[in-house]
């Protein structure tokens, strides 16, 4: 599939302080104090409702971490947090419309399939409901009316991954795309091709069917013995790729995007060579914080430009530094 998109300028802002605000003591028995939290300068703020609608959801370790960050920020700031997800772009748009109909105070979306979300996001902004995007769609976020975007530039992240693939000695590698039509995943592989220096070919697999993912990778390794590198675009797929490598006695080294607890253990054990971490907890936390700050203090984190949460390269040598956070499910 060919898409023409205007790229996000590389002069993006790194994430700074995202409003770490004190929370006033609340009565355990509820009442008015339980419906208020401390705001800027100690002012009281009423409870607000934020809906997050993503293209992937519960059961996916990455999105579980995103939700943990969002829920932590929501609990801190007296925000009711609603979550829903659907990989189908049209159905995701319907979920956004449902949030509009509920008259929530803010909406967080992903633009993995931006064309499907364009119109419904316009309806949200027309209804004066602020929208923040996360993870996917930095290049369309502001154009579609979102006030802020939290994530990594996927092309730049892909370029970093390509350099790392070269560093570990790979010459002929696979880039495993687990969701066709997801522009962010396509950008990762395209970025990696720019800097890899060897031959990098895309392998499309049905990400919702892990046995089929394994059989597709296994078949490719069996038919092409020269493959010496595999780059997956999500932590669970890296573990599956490792299984395929073992099953076929392949020499391929496995690397991936994104983190979870099991992946950190694999990095430390050497079965995964490196991971590109975009800090999903920070994406969820920052998005909720932005909507709270916008409502209560008129702040826009990043001044309208995408706020970078990654990429950070994690290797065997550095995995131990985040081990405690991965074990509690926040990295």
Q: What percent of the chain has pLDDT over 70?
A: 87
Looking at the domain that runs over 47-152+279-300, which CATH code has it been given? 3.40.50.2300
DSSP helix/strand/coil, 242 = helix
CA torsion angle for 278, 203, 54, 234 (degrees, to 10)?
Answer: -40
Determine phi and psi for 256, rounding to 5 degrees.
-155, 170
Looking at residue 56, its pLDDT comes to: 87
CA distance 81 to 172: 45
The answer to whether the CB of 301 falls within 8 A of the CB of 293 is yes
pLDDT digits (tens, 9 = 90+) for 289-311: 999 999 999 999 999 899 999 99
- In sequence order, the β-bridge partners of residue 81 are 50
- In sequence order, the β-bridge partners of residue 254 are 230
The answer to whether the CB of 306 falls within 8 A of the CB of 13 is yes
Closest among 92, 152, 87, 154 to 283, alpha carbons compared: 152
Looking at residue 236, its pLDDT comes to: 94
pLDDT digits (tens, 9 = 90+) for 188-211: 999 999 999 999 999 999 999 999
CA distance 37 to 43: 8
CA distance 325 to 31: 35
**Average pLDDT, rounded, for the chain:** 88
The answer to whether the CB of 284 falls within 8 A of the CB of 68 is yes
DSSP helix/strand/coil, 171 = coil
CA distance 231 to 273: 10
H helices present in 113-182, as ranges = 114-126, 154-167
pLDDT digits (tens, 9 = 90+) for 41-96: 433 678 999 999 999 877 788 999 999 999 999 999 999 999 999 999 999 999 99
Model confidence at 13: pLDDT above 60: no
Domain with CATH 3.40.50.2300 in the chain: 47-152+279-300, 154-277
pLDDT digits (tens, 9 = 90+) for 144-189: 999 999 999 999 999 999 999 999 999 999 999 999 889 999 999 9
Query: How far, in Å, are 16, 73, 242, 249, 319 from residue 331 at the CA level?
Result: 18, 16, 21, 31, 11
The answer to whether the CB of 82 falls within 8 A of the CB of 105 is no
- The pTM for the full model equals 0.82
154-277 carries CATH number 3.30.505.10: no
CA distance 202 to 204: 6
């Amino acid at each position: 599939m060919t898409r023409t998109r205007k790229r996000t300028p590389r002069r993006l802002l790194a994430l700074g302080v995202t409003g770490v605000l004190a929370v006033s003591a609340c009565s355990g028995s509820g009442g008015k104090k339980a419906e208020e939290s401390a705001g800027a300068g100690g002012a009281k703020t009423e409870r607000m409702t934020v809906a997050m609608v993503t293209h992937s959801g519960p059961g996916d370790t990455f999105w579980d971490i995103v939700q943990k960050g969002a829920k932590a920020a929501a609990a801190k700031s007296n925000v009711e947090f609603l979550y829903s997800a659907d990989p189908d772009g049209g159905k995701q748009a319907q979920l956004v419309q449902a949030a509009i109909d509920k008259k929530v105070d803010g909406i967080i979306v992903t633009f993995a399939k931006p064309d499907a979300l364009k119109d419904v996001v316009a309806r949200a902004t027309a209804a004066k409901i602020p929208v923040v995007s996360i993870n996917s769609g930095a290049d369309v976020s502001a154009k579609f009316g979102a006030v802020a975007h939290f994530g990594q530039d996927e092309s730049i992240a892909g370029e970093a991954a390509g350099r790392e693939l070269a560093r570990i000695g790979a010459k002929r590698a696979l880039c495993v795309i687990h969701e066709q039509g997801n522009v962010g995943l396509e950008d990762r592989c395209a970025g990696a091709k720019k800097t890899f220096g060897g031959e990098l070919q895309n392998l499309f697999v049905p990400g919702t069917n892990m046995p089929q993912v394994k059989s597709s990778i296994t078949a490719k390794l069996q038919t092409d013995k020269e493959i010496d590198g595999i780059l997956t675009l999500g932590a669970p797929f890296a573990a599956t790729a490792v299984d395929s490598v073992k099953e076929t006695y392949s020499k391929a080294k496995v690397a991936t995007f994104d983190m979870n607890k099991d992946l950190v253990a694999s990095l430390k054990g050497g079965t995964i060579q490196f991971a590109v971490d975009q800090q999903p907890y920070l994406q969820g936390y920052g998005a909720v914080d932005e909507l709270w700050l916008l409502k209560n203090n008129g702040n826009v984190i990043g001044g309208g430009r995408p706020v970078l949460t990654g990429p950070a390269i994690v290797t065997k040598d550095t995995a131990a530094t985040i081990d405690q956070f991965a074990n509690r499910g926040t990295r």
